[in-house]
C-alpha cells in the first residue's frame, strides 16, 4: 500500500518573517531589532526552531532582570519593572544556543531519496 505524505519545506525568508510576526506579536521589541535581518539569520531553521529562538530571546529579558535576586525580591517585582523590551542582542544570544534542527546533510539525504523514490 502506497503511503501519502506532505512535504513541508523549511521556511524561506518570507515565511520566516511571517513566523516571527506570529511568535512575537505580544513581545515588546527594542528599536534595535531588525526583523528582516533576523529572518535572514533564520534561514535553515524549521518553524519549530524559529518558535524556540523567539521564546528564548524573549526570556532573556526576564533572566537579566532577575539575575542575583532572591525569590522574595523576584515575587515583589512590579509589572512595570518587568516590562523591558527584547533587544537584538537577546536574539543573537538565542541563536548562539539554538541551532537548526535540520542539517544540510539531512536535506541532501531527503532530496536524494525523493529523486529515487519520491512521487512526481
108 pLDDT higher than 90:
no
∠ Cα 32 33 34 (to 5°) = 110
Alpha carbon distance 12, 50 (integer Å) = 12
10 pLDDT higher than 60:
yes
∠ Cα 75 80 84 (to 5°) = 100
* Of 57, 55, 58, 62, residue with least CA distance to 79: 62
Would you state the pLDDT for residue 59?
Answer: 94
Helix (H, G, I), strand (E, B) or coil at 76: coil
Instruction: Dump pLDDT digits (tens) for 36-56.
Output: 999 999 999 999 999 999 999
Cite the beta strand spans of the chain per DSSP E: none
Alpha carbon distance 80, 98 (integer Å) = 29
Query: Per DSSP, what are the bridge partners of residue 42?
Result: none
Residue 23's region, left for phi above 0, alpha for psi from -120 to 50, else beta, is alpha
Greater pLDDT, 3 or 40: 40
The dotted CATH code for 13-20+35-111 is 1.10.8.60
pLDDT level of residue 120 (50, 70, 90 thresholds): low
* Of 37, 47, 48, 38, residue with least CA distance to 15: 47
Instruction: Dump pLDDT digits (tens) for 21-39.
Output: 999 999 999 999 999 999 9
Amino acid at each position: 500500500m502506497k503511503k501519502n505524505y506532505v512535504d513541508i519545506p523549511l521556511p524561506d525568508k518570507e515565511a520566516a518573517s511571517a513566523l516571527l510576526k506570529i511568535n512575537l506579536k505580544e513581545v515588546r521589541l527594542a528599536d534595535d531589532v531588525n526583523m528582516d535581518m533576523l529572518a535572514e539569520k533564520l534561514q535553515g531553521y524549521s518553524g519549530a526552531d524559529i518558535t524556540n529562538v523567539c521564546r528564548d530571546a524573549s526570556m532573556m529579558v526576564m533572566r537579566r532582570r532577575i539575575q542575583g535576586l532572591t525569590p522574595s525580591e523576584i515575587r515583589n517585582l512590579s509589572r512595570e519593572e518587568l516590562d523591558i523590551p527584547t533587544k537584538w542582542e537577546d536574539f543573537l544570544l538565542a541563536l548562539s544556543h539554538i541551532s537548526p534542527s535540520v542539517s544540510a546533510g539531512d536535506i541532501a539525504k531527503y532530496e536524494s531519496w525523493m529523486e529515487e523514490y519520491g512521487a512526481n
